[in-house]
Amino acid sequence: MIQYIIRRLIFSIPVVIGVTLITFILLNVVPGDPVLEMVGKYADPQTVQQIREQLGLNDPLIIQYLRFVFNAVRGDLGKSFKTGLPVSKMIAEAFPTTLKLALSAYLVAIVIGVSVGIISAVRQYSFFDHSMMIVALAGISAPVFWVAVIAQLIFGLKLGWFPISGYYSLKHMILPAIVLGTRFAASIARYTRSALLDVIRQDYIRTARAKGLSERAVIFIHALKNAMIPVVTILGMQLSGLLTGSILTESVFAIPGLGRLSVWALSERDYPLVQGVVLFTAVIYILGNLIVDISYAFLNPRIRLQ
């Protein structure tokens, strides 16, 4: 197992290099000068040139990229063009908030999604099944910012149950977690339902029922464990997605997470910060996928990690 993990991590290195290289090329190909963004509307060429020199932007691109890689390997992601703060510090400050939001939303998504999926599968074609699948479809289709604003209006402004926006305490996390979580719950419910339906039609389930096992035991002990393999894949991908893709939720709820930091970095053309966030995000994705693969072995010992 440890060998497998080490091998996977080694294979990830080219992926990380590829991601940073593509980001670097894109940042330099896309129009938009970071110095003009810093200086603003009265940019005079002399000041622009001076700042470019200070930031090392006049060096050849290959030198700039190698400098980034060399420093990143030593754990130094550079300093933000705009604030002058270490990029790693800015990411370290923003990430815990995103992590809290992602985990809270994840919890909401799993509890609601898996429960609804199981009930829908067990009671296939029932009123509950039909209505929940329609709700799930609506949940997947509705834009997250729209759902967020409606939730803020009803539960924040009209009923006053939750704070409308900002992040000052855990209470501020409830509404965004529900909005973000229910969205993911919708797709989890649909995956759980279809995976479970596939499994409960298998012969071994029929055998289990024939042996006289209770329906509860059949579903929870025999069917669910096997049905969870495709669901776990989705869950793993969704956790990575939640950690790196909650930009809209963070913006609407004014939560100071990684999503907003990356949008800010991009709009300011803060190259070191963009590079740092992308690198960090890539690592999160790789680790997320690795955890999913490892979890397969626990769910089904027949799957060998090779």
Residues that bind another protein (CB under 8 A): 30-34, 36-44, 46-47, 50-51, 54, 80, 82-85, 90, 93-94, 149, 152-153, 156-157, 160, 163-168, 251-254, 256, 260-261, 264, 267-269
Shortest Cβ distance from residue 108 to another protein (Å)?
21
Using the minimum distance from each CB to another protein, give the nearer residue, 17 or 51: 51
Q: Which residues contact residue 236 at a Cβ distance below 8 angstroms, ignoring those fewer than 6 apart?
A: 288, 289, 291, 292, 295
Nearest-CA neighbor of 87 among 165, 10, 20, 170? 20
Report, in Å, the least distance between residue 64 CB and another protein.
18
Cβ proximity to another protein, 115 vs 165, nearer residue: 165
Of 155 and 296, the one with the shorter C-beta distance to another protein is 155
The angle, 0 to 180 degrees and rounded to 10, between the axes of the packed helices 144-151 and 171-199 is 130
Q: How many whole angstroms separate alpha carbon 171 and alpha carbon 160?
A: 12
Q: Tell the smallest beta-carbon distance from residue 188 to another protein (Å).
A: 28
* Sign of the Cα pseudo-torsion (191, 173, 270, 63, in order): negative
Report which of 239, 281, 240, 237 is spatially closest to residue 258, judged by C-alpha positions. Answer: 281
Nearer to another protein, 164 or 197 (CB): 164
**Closest to 139 measured CA to CA, from 131, 236, 127:** 131
- In whole angstroms, the minimum distance from the beta carbon of 258 to another protein comes to 10
> How many alpha carbons fall within 13 Å on the CB side of residue 235?
22
User: What does the angle CA 108 – CA 114 – CA 117 come to, to the nearest 5 degrees?
Assistant: 130
CA distance 256 to 264: 11
Nearer to another protein, 122 or 243 (CB): 243
Q: Residue 16 or 164: which CB sits closer to another protein?
A: 164
User: What is the nearest approach in angstroms of another protein to the Cβ of residue 80?
Assistant: 8
Minimum distance from CB of 53 to another protein (Å)?
10
Nearest approach, Cβ of 59 to another protein (angstroms)?
A: 18
CA atoms of 290 and 296, how far apart (whole Å): 10
Find, among 83, 78, 65, the residue nearest to 19 by Cα. Answer: 65
Nearest to another protein of 88, 295 (CB atom): 88
